Amino acid sequence: MGRVQDRVAIVTGAARGIGAATARMLAREGASVVVADIKDAMGEDVQCSIGDNALYIHHDVTDETSWKGVIASTIERFGRLDILVNCAGLGWASNPEEETLERWRLLMSVNLEGVFLGTKPAIPAMKAKQPSGGSIINISSAYGIVASPDVGTYNASKGGVRLYTKSTALYCARAGLGIRANSVHPGFIWTPMVKDFLREQGNDLEAGRQALGSLHPVGHVGEPDDVPYGVLYLASDESKFMTGAELVIDGGYTAQ
């Protein structure tokens, strides 16, 4: 316990799934957590489940003004910012012949632009501390490393997150800011987003779970806490020599 004691974290997409599990885990390990999402009722439930060291903020990651407000509210309430977890994301099946520009832009605005818009104000907030420093953790995907013919837009967005994270890491390291940036690459995790994906394909959930599990050498999909354990490591001093790296949590999916 206490691996991120007295630190302050912002977690986007924290109303459900990996984001909610991450917010709860960081709080259990001693952090104060800003739960940021557009799903107010679920976000407030996550805040209540954590307790007094959590704050829910309605936040649209595609809106630069909203980001400024979240950072300002975080510092006003908790006095600092140490950890940013860019977890908000969208995903759906698509192929290059049938995908629309409107859908492409929507997914990019959340998955990729949201990471940029969060990173931009987080760096000066982390610089303002004494001593300067922090950890930026961007949730990419196994599909940010390998491709699939069925999720081209998602591939592009998550691959962009992977390389943008590396660029951010190099910038912060060479500037001597003490800020690290790493990406996390989950395989299929049994979350509401994956369940929604299966429903959209007309699949029975249990049959779909088994089918997705068979894609992973370990034989099953991941659980929501599998990813936050990796995030916790990247947020803590245990990973102090790690920046610009990819933490792959995918049951062997990308090893094939």
List the catalytic residue out of 56, 143, 154, 253.
154
Closest CA to 185 of 159, 166, 167, 208: 159
Closest CA to 194 of 173, 176, 178, 216: 216
Residue 147 contacts residue 155 (beta carbons within 8 Å)? yes
Residue 252 contacts residue 234 (beta carbons within 8 Å)? no
Give dist(CA 17, CA 28) in Å, integer. 17
Closest CA to 136 of 99, 102, 173: 173
Does the active-site annotation cover 154? Answer: yes
CA angle, 236 then 145 then 13, to 5°: 55
Give dist(CA 184, CA 231) in Å, integer. 7
Residue 57 contacts residue 34 (beta carbons within 8 Å)? yes
Local structure of 200: helix, strand or coil: helix
Question: What is the helix, strand, coil percentage profile of the chain, to 5?
Answer: 50, 15, 35
Closest CA to 136 of 157, 151, 155, 114: 114
Q: Which residues are catalytic?
A: 154
